[in-house]
Structure 1
Amino acid sequence: MKEYIFRDPIHGNIAVKDETILRLIQSPEFQRLRRIRQLGTSFISYPGAEHTRFAHSLGVYHLMGRVLRHLVEHRVEIGEEEQAMARAAALLHDIGHGPFSHLFEKVTGMNHEAWVARIITSPESTVAHILAERDPAWPARVASFIRGVWEGRPFLKELIASQLDVDRMDYLLRDSRMCGVTYGQFDLERLIQTVTVVDDHIALTDKGITSAEEFLLARYFMYWNVYFHKATRSSEVLLELALRRAVALVRGGEQAALGFLPPALEPVLAGEELSLDQYVALDETDVLYAIKRWTAAPDPVLADLSGRFLHRRLFAGIRLDGGLDPEQEEGVRRALRAAGFDPDYYYQIDRAASATYQYYVAQDAGPTPIKILLSWTDPPELREMTEVSQVLRGIATQPVSRSFLFVPREAAERVRAAVMR
């Protein structure tokens, strides 16, 4: 087929030469990702953070191709069909995300990983048809590849999901650039040049130690400065509380109190099982339009929470050392009631440990810690990254601890006093 070029702000020209890949990109399920932001409500904190999971997925596809070419050039045997399937999996790895991704999952209970598998394997799916036309086994194989249960060679699935994968490589560079910060920058070229395969697992040569340190420190700094930005977390809390209020009203038989309910959101808020077509029709435009209309909802709580989110009247964040004991929590609820707020919808504790993004710590690396192949030992030895990097040993022992209590600014002083007693 004729080469198709996507102009990308991170990687330059992304070339698509495979007809299957181009058809997947053109499918309704993949085009929907144009309407799902990569960073949820981060645009509240960083005005440029409007980039989408569509762009990110193209970037991951591109980087998968680059790493595979590098490995083949360095005598790692990878069949053409294996490479093609790995590129397809890279492209489709985020296809199941819903509006505002993990936040929406918390409210509705819908699991994006389950939707990835369903979109890729369901007979109703355009994506599944395209994959099956390439090879009848591809839908199931691509789905298992993304889920990490693929029974093929481990290094291929590690390129999608590990401590050193092309997903992280793209989102760090992309998120950093689009947010207008430098925290997520690292030497991508050098990192790719030092990727190797040892015993069928991904590793780096020792020439890549500095690049890997940059990469992992980039995750560390992006985590604290972008992904866990206090204004972003506050905006997510507001959106989550507004959606929780809408769910409570719909499931409590008080749908009229919303004033307006988009057809695409109705079965979601009601807790009904969605068809594939219903899920693919759902995106962030539905949620944001509902929030806009709900600012005039008959229900005062929904109207207020929606207005606060829409007009960026964020909750104040009170820093906590940990959680709240029962006495403190009851004090918070009393303080909110005294200020005229329903405590069921006007406070939330947000913990760093529950955030989507985590930086690298050796004890959390699971089955895929980053391994370095040392050339100066005889014979060459594989070592875990923190064994050869003093820089990473420093952050690997740091506990992850950051919590905020988010409440309306009007009640912040009362609540702070209740917490500090």
Structure 2
Amino acid sequence: MGYSKEKLNEEKVFKDPVHRYVHVRDQVIWDLIGSKEFQRLRRIKQLGTTFFTFHGAEHSRFNHSLGVYEIVRRIVDDVFCGRPEWDQEERLLSLCAALLHDIGHGPFSHSFEKVFNLDHEEFTKDIILGNTEVHRILARVNNEFPEKVAEVIGKTYKNKQVVSLISSQIDADRMDYLQRDAYFTGVSYGHFDMERILRVMRPHDDQVVIKHSGMHAVEDYIMSRYQMYWQVYFHPVTRSAEVILTKTLHRAKHLYKQSYSFKTPPVHFYSLFENKPILKDYLKLDEAVVLYYLQMWIEEDDSILKDLCSRFMNRNLFKYSEFDPAKEYKKVVRLSELFKQAGIDPEYYLVVDSSSDLPYDFYRPGEEEERQPIHLLMKNGEIHELSRESDIVDAISGKRRTDHKLYYPLDFIMDDRSEKSVKKQICALLGLQKEEK
């Protein structure tokens, strides 16, 4: 029996708060979970800085990756197995891609990517194809297998049914993170009837479709996702922490480029600061490493770096105001001038942050983040795009919502570093109450 068919002597299970149990019987999956690249995900939070807002949001990419694997396992073993439209030879590929889809994430994922212009999917493919334990495990299946896993995650694999299980508008990734993030943040928005959705999923031609009888469960799922984005993922307090972390890393990179003499040199960041990220260096980075530097940099001589690090470590976050960039651009220009007069560097302390989401979209070829729409399998066998049948989904289809906030340090504005006239103008522009005498 080849490695791809090799089973464990006894099924292994992980106790899970969302799916109750995660079941592992394949030797390949068990070996991948035990690899050092996958174990690193235990040290990277699923929701980045969200724990500043929802204190329970301490769960990891490791938790989530196991959850996505479990959903796909249920689909290919229980729902699709035996159906003529599904090739059971794709089973192991689907499971491996589900398990490894997030393995390239860095610490504080999206903040990190913005600062260093990184793409976690590219690192995911590098880990799968590079000199890693993960690659050696996958290559034991056959020499082409690592490339196939990378193609599924990169959405270029020829069998689009496999791709859609991992990346579509109703994929295992979204179904896990909505429920998992709702559980750990303590909110009710992310809950939907996943059991019903799994029961009505069907393989069809080059995609996964939903039986028409399950349309209302899908509507509930889409609205749950919409609510989670605006109530949790885009929460303004979480974004304030992201802004501070982003500016901290920008400051550290700037100081490095200026040959600043760090008391605690950022050796783990050197290749990133040089814009030449090396995989072996990237894999040494996790949130424990980043937090170590943030803690140590509080003792640096640079006043901006030490202040930003202190703010992040002690949750002294920026305040925020509503902001309309189309109408208030001049206000930011004026505030920048006033901040400079007050001795506050606007580069680090006056930040416009924007969040945007498209809750559901139909097929728009060639557009950024293009994803296949959700299709319904009608009773007569026809395939209809979801928004054609659902008034609820039609009402939000293609409608991108964007939110802008202006972040600033209220304590700096209100202290005695600036003249009263300058402080008064800043307060007026930010809509703050006049400072007390």
Taking the TM superposition and a 5 Å limit, the aligned residue runs for 1:69-80 are 69-73=77-81, 75-80=83-88
> 1:27 aligns to what?
35
> 1:418 aligns to what?
429
Q: Distance in 2 between matches of 1:230 and 1:96?
A: 26
Q: Distance in 1 between matches of 2:282 and 2:56?
A: 27
> 1:175 aligns to what?
181
TM-score, normalized by length of structure 2?
Answer: 0.89
Identity among equivalent positions (%) equals 37
Q: 2:154 aligns with which of 147, 153, 173?
A: 147
C-alpha deviation, 1:102, in angstroms: 1.4
Q: Distance in 1 between matches of 2:42 and 2:70?
A: 17
Structure 2 vs 1, CA of residues 7 and 358 (structure 1 numbering), >3 Å: closer, same or farther?
Answer: farther
Contact 1:242 1:305 in 2 (8 A): yes
2:221 matches 1:215: yes
The superposition leaves residues 149-183 of structure 1 with CA deviations (integer Å, 9 ceiling, x where unpaired) of: 012x2111111111010000000000000000010
* RMSD (CA atoms): 1.9
TM-score, normalized by length of structure 1?
Answer: 0.92
Q: Distance in 2 between matches of 1:169 and 1:6?
A: 18
Q: Distance in 1 between matches of 2:375 and 2:175?
A: 17
Q: Distance in 1 between matches of 2:383 and 2:85?
A: 21
Amino acid at match of 1:28: K
Amino acid at match of 2:428: A
Amino acid at match of 1:400: R
Contact 1:265 1:286 in 2 (8 A): no
Amino acid at match of 2:331: Q
Q: Distance in 1 between matches of 2:160 and 2:89?
A: 16
Q: Distance in 2 between matches of 1:215 and 1:93?
A: 21
Q: Distance in 1 between matches of 2:332 and 2:84?
A: 58
Q: Distance in 2 between matches of 1:312 and 1:98?
A: 22
> 2:359 aligns to what?
359
Amino acid at match of 2:201: V
Q: Distance in 2 between matches of 1:285 and 1:9?
A: 24
- Structure 1 segments unaligned to the other structure (5+ residues): none
> 2:231 aligns to what?
225
Q: Distance in 1 between matches of 2:288 and 2:372?
A: 37
Amino acid at match of 1:360: Y
Structure 2 vs 1, CA of residues 367 and 53 (structure 1 numbering), >3 Å: closer, same or farther?
Answer: closer
2:352 matches 1:349: yes
- Please, which moves more after superposition, 161-170 or 286-295? 286-295
Structure 2 vs 1, CA of residues 30 and 217 (structure 1 numbering), >3 Å: closer, same or farther?
Answer: same
Contact 1:42 1:49 in 2 (8 A): yes
Q: How many residues matched?
A: 409
Q: Distance in 1 between matches of 2:183 and 2:19?
A: 11
2:312 matches 1:309: yes
- Structure 2 segments unaligned to the other structure (5+ residues): 1-7, 415-423, 432-437
Q: Distance in 1 between matches of 2:326 and 2:45?
A: 30
Structure 2 vs 1, CA of residues 339 and 23 (structure 1 numbering), >3 Å: closer, same or farther?
Answer: same
Contact 2:358 2:400 in 1 (8 A): no
Structure 2 vs 1, CA of residues 408 and 186 (structure 1 numbering), >3 Å: closer, same or farther?
Answer: same
Q: 1:372 aligns with which of 372, 376, 379?
A: 376
Amino acid at match of 1:179: T
